[in-house]
Amino acid sequence: MTMDSPTHTFYHIHGIDSRDHLDLYLSNKEDMIFGDDSLKFPIMNFYYQFSSGKIKGNFLIDISFGGFIHHLYSASNYFKDMAILKFTDKCIMEITRWQHDRTGAYDWKHASTAAAEFEGMREQQEIEMCLKSSVKQVLKCDIDQENITAPVVLPLADCVVVACILEAISKTKDEYVRNLEKFLKLLKPGGHLLLWGILDISYMVVGKKRVHFFKYDETFVKDVLLKLGLVIDYYAVQRRRNKSDLIDYGGVIFISAHRE
């Protein structure tokens, strides 16, 4: 698929069509070629980290791109109080439709089935229901505010999940660091950060928009985490194997780190 004259936009300023994004990059359609990186990779790595028993607590905050939720299936085994933060109203609507089984809700059965296969303990329906009941709040956030969820004040989280969002809302290295610092203000001392990111990406086509992304490599993100006082416990990188001009990424990364 090609785009003749895509418009260059910024996710947190101009938004995206959340359904177009899900259909292009996270669906179960035969021509969706990104599944190994966008579905299997996060489901597997989040499952391994949560099932390790090292990440414990009561409250989890997820800050993620678009309208996806599949990376949180395994988290619902361990956290029964989750807040999902989104930057656009369309993405909030996407999550709300799914959570409350409303007309037009996105069908995540392919992802929850994959999660059930990894776990080998819970059925697909149980996994889906468990996550829906664990999500207690879906909030809009604004990175330009000191409290990004203002006027809501969230308690500090035992675990903060950052999924493919820093590269979408940052234009420079300094902005990436500042934005991550704001996210880390939501994390308790001793709490865990789980980061799923897209390496070497500068754009993603969604609908008629060419969405800007900040380009970085694995060395950069690991150095940033260490600079901000986190201890990296685990990381994995998967290099891109598909071909498409919809997106120019080089691979995906997953990092588990904790604040001492």
The residues near 171 (Cβ < 8 Å, ≥ 6 apart) are 10, 212, 214
Instruction: Give the Cα separation of 95 and 91 in Å (integer).
Output: 6
How does pLDDT run along the chain (260 residues), one tens digit per residue? 444 445 579 999 999 999 999 999 999 999 999 999 999 999 999 999 999 999 999 999 999 999 999 999 999 999 999 999 999 999 999 999 999 999 999 999 999 999 999 888 889 999 999 999 999 999 999 999 999 999 999 999 999 999 999 999 999 999 999 999 999 999 999 999 999 999 999 999 999 899 999 999 999 999 999 999 999 999 999 999 999 999 999 999 999 999 98
- What residue type is assigned to position 64 of the chain? S
CATH topology of domain 7-259: Rossmann fold (3.40.50)
Q: Where are the alpha helices (DSSP H) in the chain?
A: 11-14, 18-25, 35, 41-51, 89-99, 109-119, 124-134, 166-169, 173-184, 218-227
Decide if 48 contacts 94 (C-beta within 8 A).
no
CB atoms within 10 A of CB 219: 8
List the domain boundaries for the chain.
7-259
